[in-house]
Amino acid sequence: MHNACMATKTISLKLKAYEKLKMARRYPGESFSEVVMRAVWPEETLTGAEFLDLSRKHGPFFDEDDLVRIEKAKRRDKPPVDKWSKR
């Protein structure tokens, strides 16, 4: 008899990240692996350094592809969490 065994990896998460992962389950018993595997990760990112390079290269003018990348990055961006506010 063959025993199929999947490799596993133990990771550490902040409690808040664990709770978000737990809340993302669609049905009781769904594994964290299943939740992570159906997550959508941004493929194309624009770092601050890349943006600075673009602005140095193009000055105040950008071509259409650059503007699309910047707009995509802006849509994904979220304001920082105010750690001092009471929730």
Residue at 83 is within a domain: no
Is 25 part of a structural domain of the chain? yes
Spell out the residues 6+ positions from residue 45 whose beta carbon is closer than 8 angstroms to its own: 73, 76
> Taking a C-beta distance cutoff of 8 angstroms, is the pair 45, 74 a contact?
no
**Whole-prediction pTM value?**
0.45
Is residue 82 assigned to a domain?
no
CA distances from 27 to 18, 20, 52, 79 (A): 16, 15, 44, 31
Is 51 found in the same domain as 27? no
What is the domain extent for residue 25? 14-42
* Cα distance between residue 64 and residue 9, in whole Å: 42
How confident is the model at residue 2, as a pLDDT?
Answer: 52
Output the pLDDT for position 4: 64
50 and 69 belong to one structural domain: yes
The DSSP call for residue 85 is S
Q: What is the pLDDT of residues 72-85, one digit of tens each?
A: 888 888 777 777 77
Domain count, the chain: 2
Across 28-37, 62-71, 74-83, least confident range:
74-83
d(CA 18, CA 24): 10
Specify the DSSP element, H or E, that contains 52: helix 48-58
Q: Is 64 within the bounds of a domain?
A: yes
